[in-house]
A and B are shown apart, each in its own frame.
Chain A
Amino acid sequence: NAGVTQTPKFRVLKTGQSMTLLCAQDMNHEYMYWYRQDPGMGLRLIHYSVGEGTTAKGEVPDGYNVSRLKKQNFLLGLESAAPSQTSVYFCASSYLDTSWDEQYFGPGTRLTVT
């Protein structure tokens, strides 16, 4: 199993450009999550999905959109990138949403917006 993969690994955008980050998991997990991590800080949840075709807002959803058209994929979109969105983005997945269910994280995408 590849686990959780993310593409691309790095990206530089100009302010106002758009892009989509792709997350894929091959563990048949129901739940998927997008987090951002700013320097010296923990992870903050952007959006999450409890199953194919569903999405929900997390702590910091503004400026982002997501889609979960297939169970194994979770896309994060930036319609008009801003310098404040410079961050490392992590995708995660879990089988259930019970408190004891482990989240598996991808390797991250480093995004710089100039």
Chain B
Amino acid sequence: GESVGLHLPTLSVQEGDNSIINCAYSNSASDYFIWYKQESGKGPQFIIDIRSNMDKRQGQRVTALLNKTVKHLSLQIAATQPGDSAVYFCAEKRHYAGKSTFGDGTTLTVKP
């Protein structure tokens, strides 16, 4: 079956450093990949997305990378701040599939 998974359940970085969160997926038919941020006690929030025909998508302080050859996604956060501390999920979606498949999440902790 299809699955989306993250390599590390936790990641701890110093404030100001760059963070890299990784994700692997198994379904070659996925059209679209999404990164969500979930702060404690809240629902997931969209951060950035990347389509399957792209290998990089730049946001304000975040970059999504996609390597279809090895079915690997990354979320890079530049100059990580305490407000970035949260659980980050990757998800994959296909057109009209009716659902997204979520990975298990990486908890990012930013140390001052």
Contacts and interface: CB of A to CB of B under 8 A. Distances in A.
Given A43-B102, A44-B102, A48-B98, A99 B43 contact: no
Contacts of B97: 97, 99
Q: Is the interface of A mostly helix, strand, loop or mixed?
A: loop
Interface residues of A, number: 27
A2 interface: no
A42 B5 CA distance: 9
Contacts of B31: 99
A23 to B, nearest CB: 11
Which among B49, B89, B97, B102 has the greatest number of chain A C-beta atoms within 10 A? B102
Interface of A: 4, 33, 35, 40-45, 48, 50, 56, 58-59, 90, 92, 97-100, 102-108
Interface of B: 4, 9, 31-32, 34, 41-46, 49, 51, 89, 91, 93-100, 102-105
